[in-house]
Structure 1
Amino acid sequence: MNKWQKITNKIALIVVLMLSSCSVMFAQSKKSNPFYYTELSEQADYKHIDFSSEYKEWLIPDSSERFEDITHELLGNGYTFERALFNSERFTYEDMNGKPLYYKETSFNGILGDKYARIEIFIHPEVERMDSLTFKVNGKSKVEENICDFTGEIHIEHIYNVWERVNDPDSPNYYVMVCNYLFTEDKAQYGTGFFKGTYGAYCYIDKANKMIRLDIDVGGGEFNKRNYVGIWQSYKTKAVKRCVWGDYRMPYTFDFDIGSEDMRINPKYNSPEWEQWQYEMHNPKEKNRWWKTLRKEVSHETDR
């Protein structure tokens, strides 16, 4: 083997090692999907309570994606925010032709604690803008028959424009809004505490009307458009419980959701409340509008 052939071989070896190193780095930058148990169980501890930081990291684009933080650009150009980004109203198409579009007052569905008790969250349609990136909300939470009132704030940290295919500038873009939230329940009511964590929502930019709107098309049926990932902490006992809620499928619930395409509750976590959820999924017009009823005083020996 002559001198130049040896040099050529060394160069080839260095290139192979560099490419291998880059492949490893790229693989590490790819994020495991927190909505599916099989992927989630490989990279997270089910005993962990607060996944708000992990969810924020999952929402924020990384080096494997082409993205742009457009938060201050939108504010500088006078864009406003659609209220459905901050309340629990849901967009629904009136007919199969997709017109017209209207709001539907509803509640979010979620889990509370390591036994995955069902919690429902209703955020009133009225939303108050406190400053350029902070919004005040109020609503109600429900666990079994206990309904509590809360007030809170949602603060926008970033709005990212993400290109799905880096090498195709003409591919459809999507936008993700990353926020933090703090909701405090009424201390005078039974079994109350506070919620805090990370809120993520998919949105789109309505340039014609200079408005940031909730995107109802991104993600398909298996992903929801709005998710709250964090904790609930009791005022009385100081107990901290995982609390996640959203439009449909929820992240960081491990073996609770064992569905492959659609959300399906693991039978070991079944309860009358989850049976009610399944019934309402098949009969949406018969959903219990519990937030419309007067609050009942509930007396229990234990907290939530």
Structure 2
Amino acid sequence: MPLDSATTAQQRADARTGQDEREVAGLDALELGPQRLVEPNGFAVWGKRLWDASWPKALALVLVLGAWQAVVWSEWKPEFVFPGPDKVLPVLLGEVTTPRFWEAMQVTMQRALSGFALAVVVGVLVGVAVSRIKPLRAAIGSLITGLQTMPSIVWFPFAMLLYGITESAIMFVIILGAAPSIANGLVSGIDYVSPNLLRVGQVVGLRGIARYRYLIVPAALPTFVAGLKQGWAFAWRSLMAGELLVIIDQQNSIGWALSQARTMNNSERLLSYILIVLIIGIVIDIFFSYADKSIRKRWGIST
């Protein structure tokens, strides 16, 4: 080969190599550059998540307060009967700074958490038994759904007949209100476990309690969490009805505060405690939503 041709071929090869290296460098810059240059810190990530989660709720709160004030301005009811947020919110802020309020909050939340915990135990035991024993499902499956649809306030006369005006009457109604929803959630989750997954568990030797602990219950977890969320809603409503009906030696609680505000025709204080009940419900709902989102993310269903 002539010297000039060899030199030209070498120059062409070098040019192609240089072009390939520039293209690879460009791709690296496109892929890695933004990550290196704009990588957010932990505070920025949490701040964005907090903002994304809070601004829709803040907007909804503003809309509700605006609609509330508009109804007051329409003079639908006299202002001493239906006061506006400009009168109720200062009373609410005044209540949360008193020891009496925190005593009432402690009593109510202790009842709510203990009653819900007992309902979870009962609901899980019933749900596992019904899902495992087919004759039992045929016998009481519809009964559980019927109990779930019954208003919890219907049980209070019977509960007071059984236990008198005591904490046990309130716990009895909370369990009857929440346990059926929890049991149905667990049964539905177990029913939707993939048969292929069950066969894999059988192959690896999972039997009895281990089969439920390591395979069925984790697979049924999303539906079970939905049942827990619904069970908490029933438990909370049952508790509020119980505290309004079962007054235990004038023991301070949120329900008792509501009853006292109604007795004294104090509409500002009455509405402030209604807002407190609503806020507690929203906070608990945020907790269950976070648990559901975490499960979905762990399973790769959402990001």
Whether TM-score is above 0.5 comes out as no
TM-score, normalised by the number of residues in structure 1: 0.22
Larger radius of gyration: 2
Higher helix residue share? 2
TM-score, normalised by the number of residues in structure 2: 0.22
